[in-house]
C-alpha cells in the first residue's frame, strides 16, 4: 500500500494508485482511501462506510468498492479511521479529542476533487446508516456538493438509545460522562446542530424506510423537529420514502441504489 503526506498529494500519485487503496498522513493520523478514476468523467461519488462486521472484515474497509464500474462517475471510498485501535463497529468519523477525523477527511477529499478538476456541485456523497451521517457532515463541510443518504443516523444520541455513541466515548473519550461528551462535541454528533452552526444546508436526497421505526421515530421525526427549532430552511432537502417491512434498517438493494445514484448524477434528483 502506497503512503503519502497530505502536503505532497498530487495528481500523479492518484493516477498511479487508480483502483488501489492508499494512505494519506495528515496531522499525525493515517487516513485510508480507495479510488476509481474514469477517463472523461467530471463527476465524483464519495462513499462512506456503515457498520463494520469486524469478524468478517479487516481494516481498512471500503464498503461498496465493487460498485465502481456500475457508477457513472469517478468513485472514492473512505475508511473510517475512528474504529481503528478498537473493536468498534461504528465510528461516524468522530475521531479523537484532538482531531475530528471527518474534518481532516473533508479537506483531503476536497484536495482530491481539485486535483481531478471536479467541481463541488459535481461531487456527491453517498452512505447508508452511519455512512449516511458521515456523508451529511462531509457535504455540509464541502459547499455546493450534494448528499444521497439512506436510513442515516442524523442525531447520534438517539441511535439505539445512545449505546453505540457511549462505546466510542468509553474507548476514546473516557474523561467525559455521556452528557458531557454530547455537550462538548455537538458538531460531531448532530446534523441539525452543524447545519445551524455552519448556517448551511447542502442539497440532500434523504431516503428512508417508513417501516423502520428506528429510522422513522428516532431519526426522521426528531430531525424535522430540530430543523424547525433552529428555523433551518428545508427547501434543499428531497425525501424519498419507501415502505418495506422486511428490509427494516437495511438500505435499498444494490441495483436500486445504483439506479438512484446514477439518476442523481444526471440531475433526475437534486
pLDDT tens-digit map of 116-144: 999 999 999 999 999 999 999 999 999 99
**Residue 235, domain member (yes or no):** yes
Q: Enter the pTM of the model.
A: 0.97
Residue 251 C-alpha from the chain's centroid:
14
pLDDT average, residue stretch 238-252: 97
CB 40 within 8 A of CB 10: no
| Full domain range(s) for residue 246 | 2-265
Task: Write out pLDDT tens, residues 63-78.
Answer: 999 999 999 999 999 9
- The enclosing domain of 180 has a CATH number of 3.40.50.1820
Burial category of 87 from C-beta neighbours within 10 Å (exposed 0-12, middle 13-18, buried 19 and up): exposed
Going by pLDDT thresholds of 50, 70 and 90, the confidence category of residue 57 is: confident
**Residue 189, domain member (yes or no):** yes
CA distance 20 to 208: 32
**Residue 270, domain member (yes or no):** no
CA distance 135 to 137: 6
**Residue 98, domain member (yes or no):** yes
User: Average model confidence (pLDDT) for the chain?
Assistant: 97
Count up the domains in the chain and report the number.
1
Which helix (H) or strand (E) is 15 found in, with range?
Answer: helix 11-16
Amino acid at each position: 500500500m502506497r503512503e503519502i503526506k497530505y502536503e505532497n498529494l498530487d495528481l500523479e500519485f492518484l493516477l498511479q494508485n487508480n483502483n488501489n487503496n492508499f494512505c494519506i498522513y495528515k496531522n499525525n493520523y493515517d487516513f485510508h482511501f480507495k479510488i476509481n478514476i474514469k477517463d472523461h468523467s467530471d463527476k465524483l461519488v464519495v462513499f462512506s462506510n456503515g457498520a463494520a462486521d469486524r469478524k468478517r472484515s479487516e481494516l481498512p474497509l471500503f464498503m461498496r468498492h465493487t460498485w465502481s464500474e456500475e457508477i457513472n462517475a469517478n468513485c472514492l471510498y473512505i475508511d473510517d479511521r475512528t474504529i481503528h485501535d478498537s473493536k468498534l463497529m461504528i465510528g461516524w468519523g468522530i475521531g479523537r479529542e484532538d482531531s475530528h477525523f471527518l474534518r481532516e477527511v473533508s479537506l483531503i477529499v476536497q484536495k482530491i476533487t481539485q486535483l481531478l478538476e471536479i467541481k463541488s456541485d459535481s461531487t456527491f456523497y453517498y452512505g447508508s446508516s452511519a455512512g449516511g451521517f458521515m456523508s451529511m457532515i462531509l457535504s455540509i463541510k464541502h459547499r455546493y456538493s450534494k448528499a444521497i443518504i439512506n436510513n442515516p443516523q442524523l442525531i447520534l444520541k438517539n441511535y439505539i438509545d445512545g449505546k453505540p455513541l457511549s462505546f466510542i466515548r468509553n474507548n476514546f473519550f473516557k474523561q467525559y460522562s455521556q452528557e458531557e461528551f454530547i455537550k462538548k462535541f455537538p458538531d460531531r454528533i448532530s446534523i441539525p446542530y452543524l447545519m445551524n452552526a455552519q448556517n448551511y444546508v447542502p442539497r440532500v436526497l434523504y431516503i428512508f424506510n417508513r417501516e423502520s421505526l428506528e429510522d422513522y421515530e428516532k431519526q426522521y421525526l426528531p430531525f424535522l423537529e430540530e430543523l424547525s427549532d433552529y428555523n433551518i430552511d428545508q427547501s434543499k432537502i428531497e425525501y424519498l420514502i419507501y415502505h418495506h417491512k422486511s428490509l427494516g434498517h437495511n438500505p435499498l438493494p444494490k441495483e436500486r441504489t445504483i439506479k438512484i445514484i446514477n439518476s442523481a448524477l444526471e440531475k433526475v434528483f437534486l
